[in-house]
Structure 1
Amino acid sequence: MRRAAGARRGWGRAATVAVTVICLAYAPIAMTELWPYARPGAPAPGEWLLGRSVSPEFVAEAVRDRAGPYGRSLAPLIAHSVLGGLLMLLGPVQLLSAVRRRIRLHRITGTVFAVTVYVSMAGAALYLVRTPPEEAFSGAAFWIVLATILVGTVGSVTFGVLAAVRGFPDLHQRWLLLCYGFLMTAPLLRLEWGLLPSLYPGLDLFDINRVAIMHLGALVSFGALLASRALDRRTTVPGLTGTWCPLPVRIAAHLAGAAGLVWITVAFLDEGTAGRRLLLAYLVPYAVTYAVIAARAARAGSRGADWAREEWSLHLAALCLAPAFSAVTVPVLERTLDLDRPTALVAGVGIGCGMLAYAAVTAVSLRILYARELLKRQRKSLDPRADSHADPHAGAPAVAAGVAREGTQG
């Protein structure tokens, strides 16, 4: 047990260091990315690095395709990118201040973080509203994915703030980690711009982006889940009884997911070589994510950690339903946005895992709130004179203790 705990702490430290390094490295790139569009020849470290890791032609193509749409919304986009760089710096501060229990620092930087998210996303929203999907950078599918990430980011930070105000630190933690996961799609996409051309020589940036969005939503939401579970060491939540994922629900989710995967597979295979490439970019990360979550749920059940098993199970059910959601979404996108089948397919699959992860965090939040409400009613029935606010946030001390242990170990 000690060896396993030590290994988990080691992986946690490594993940924290890796995320921090990526954020610190990407912050200046994000802040200066759009300067050349406002003033040709202005410093652009991101373009410089990409030109040397791939080719100058690859960068020139990217700049050429973005010049027109960006020109119509340059001011809000520059605000979005500069503030996005600031968010990359604030994220590690937020995480480390929470782990180290620097409460005052965490609250101050958290307020700045939330306001910055809203203003930065407002700039992105103006760009999306002013830019028709077919004219957006990398086309309509990328526009849809960007819009989905924007909504998910704003929704996550809003629920996180509300949870903090109401005094639910465990829910606050989960929503803010998911929010930052969505924000991490930006630096991770730039990493893929540098790496994927070596795997797929000759692909232009349009196709590289299509490959990337096949799995970025699943990747960042999976990372947020791993971080949430690492910080929450509770074996149970007071008031937790039964499960919201009994065997019939799990079976139904797996059957729906299998049907969705079959439909997605057939649809992509019909698109030839490009379709097979996109299918591979979707299936491999999906399979790895499924295997890890399923193994963690089984392990939690075997050691009697009811709460961990419940959270893993809810996320596993959501992951299973993601392909089914995508399969249903594709024809909806075709009809409502008048998209061709390949574009609707890429967009529908690209947003599936991220949206279902958002739904899973919502279900987990409701599960915790339901358990606390049930506990409150039980206490009131035992002692009618008990003040309903005597213990409004049962379980919060356990989460705080878990965070404190993480800080001591880190």
Structure 2
Amino acid sequence: MNRPSRARWTRIAAVTITAVCVGYAPIAMTDIWPYADPQAPAIGQWLLARAVSARYMADALATRTGPYAHSLAALVVHTVLGGLLMLLGPAQLFTAVRRRLRLHRALGVVYALTVLVSMGGAAVYLARTAPKDAFGGEAFWIVLATILVGTVLSTLLGVLAAIGRLPAAHQRWMLLCYGYLMTAPLLRIEWMVLPWFFPGQSMTAINRIALTHLGSLVAFGALLGSRALDRRAKVPGAEGSWAPVPVVVGAQLAGVAGIAWLGVELVGSGAEGRQQFLGYVVPYVACALVMVWRRAVAGREGRAWAREEWGVHLTAMGLAPVFSAGAALVFQHALGVDELTALTAGVGIGCGMLAFFATAVVAVRLMYAREVVRRRPAAETVTLAGSAVVPAA
């Protein structure tokens, strides 16, 4: 039996993600309505109640009603526009692939403005809600705030890259932005799936487990998208490596130490901490192993640019647990939260934030490569002119 080609896997992934986005759009758009009117459609709540239990959904509603009541209008704006973004994202991808540049640019303007307004609604909710009163507590509030900032910054940097005529950097920033947005449907899926692996847990507990790996999954998905769309073996001007083997290996060793520290602290926090560590380390290791494998394959095939990008992100992935450990200590001592909450928040933001920095490194690498190519003809001209006046030996 013939194995599916890379192009076929890419198409399957694109169709699957599009189906998830289109299916989630009406759920997102109607998510807040029941808090304003109990008779309003509640597609997401209906699905959760039947996928898990009515009690599971009712307990979650009881913890959200109060905080949501302070910011209903802002949350309606956020969720309705968030549903629209679920539709605009695949449209942007397909117009880019099909080279419908005018339509792509027009939709891009709508997409960017929609992101900013939608995130504005989320910002109002976070500003009006004390971290301890948010659904999921302080850890979820911190993760939501981080996702908000990452989404806005990646959108703005993507726009600037487009204006600066850096299509490859633009593509990566917008994929990362959409990855951050995909935390919403992914989280809903996990609310339905994780109870099979952790039976008897409340949605709040399931939510904390999901927080530990949301960042790693969506960042990894954005990276896969970047690599699928950029098939260049080499980038002119991108000579040498900004992620040589010693740097990559050192980052992985640091990551092992960070995971060990997080493991000791989380496991020592009791049953809930053990569940969160399991939820964190399994997806993390799976993503890291795939990145190691793809980097090695790219090296064997002589695809220097693919190897470089995998290496940059693998380095960031290795440093993520160290960042998470440091962030947890800061949260615990600066914000006064308990140790488990600080650890949950730390691991919840680590991979997503380091993926942002890795994308920034790749974008700067592309900018630098372009400048190298631009200056190369001038340098060659100077060299030739100088050699013309040197007398022959």
Which TM-score bucket, shorter chain as reference?
A: over 0.9
Two-structure CA RMSD over aligned residues (Å): 1.5
> In structure 2, what is the equivalent of residue 106 of structure 1?
104
Q: Which amino acid aligns with 2:152?
A: V
Cα distance in 1, alignment partners of residues 30 and 60 from structure 2:
16
Aligned residue in 1 for 2:321:
323
CA distance in 1, matches of 2:176, 2:233: 22
Distance in 2, Cα, partners of 1:6 & 1:340: 48
Residues 139, 341 of structure 2: 8 Å contact kept: yes
TM-score (norm 2): 0.95
- The residue number in structure 1 matching 2:138 is 140
Please name the residue that 1:228 is paired with.
226
Provide the secondary structure at the position in 2 that maps to 1:243: coil
* Within-5 A mapping of 1:166-315: 166-315=164-313
CA deviation map 1:36-56 (0-9, x unaligned): 111122111111111111111
Deviations 1:191-229 (A, max 9, x none): 111111122111001101001011111001100100100
Q: Which of the numbers 53, 63, 70 marks the counterpart of 1:65?
A: 63
Looking at structure 1, the residues matched to 69 and 97 of structure 2 have their Cα atoms a distance apart, in angstroms, of: 42
Once the 2 structures are TM-superposed, how far is the Cα of residue 384 of structure 1 from its aligned partner?
5.6
Residue 184 of structure 1: CA displacement?
0.4
Task: Give 1:379's match in structure 2, choosing from 377, 380, 390.
Answer: 377
Deviation of 1:280 after TM superposition, in Å, equals 0.9
* Letter of the 1:23 counterpart: C
Confirm or deny that 1:157 pairs with 2:155. Answer: yes
Deviation at 1:4, TM superposition (A): 9.6
Match of 1:7 among 5, 8, 13: 5
In structure 2, the residue matched to 1:408 is none
Aligned-partner Cα distance in 1 for 2:25–2:139: 26
CA spacing shift, 1:169–1:6, aligned 2, 3 Å: farther
Aligned mates of 2:272, 2:5 — CA distance in 1:
40
Poorly superposed stretches of 4+, deviation over 3 Å: 3-6
Contact residue 33 and residue 40 of structure 2 kept, 8 A: yes
What SS does structure 1 have at the residue aligned with 2:5? helix
Offset at residue 377 of structure 1 (A): 2.2
The Cα offsets for residues 249-303 of structure 1, whole Å up to 9 and x where unpaired, read as 1232122111101101111110122111111111111111111100111111111
Percent identity of the aligned residues? 56
Measured in 2, the distance between the counterparts of 1:196 and 1:303 equals: 38
Task: Specify the alignment match of 2:90 in structure 1.
Answer: 92
Q: How many Å separate the matches in 1 of 2:193 and 2:306?
A: 35
Q: Aligned match of 2:340 in 333, 339, 342? A: 342
Asked whether 1:366 is paired with 2:364, we answer yes
Output the CA distance in 2 between the equivalents of 1:174 and 1:33: 29
AA partner of residue 159 (structure 1): L
Deviations 1:298-329 (A, max 9, x none): 11111111111100000000000000111111
Tell me which amino acid in the other structure corresponds to 2:27: I
**How many residue pairs align between the two structures?**
383
Alignment partners' CA distance in 2, 1:253 and 1:200: 32
Q: Pick which of 328-337 and 318-327 moved more.
A: 328-337
Partner of 2:79 in structure 1?
81
Q: 1:355 aligns with which of 345, 353, 356?
A: 353
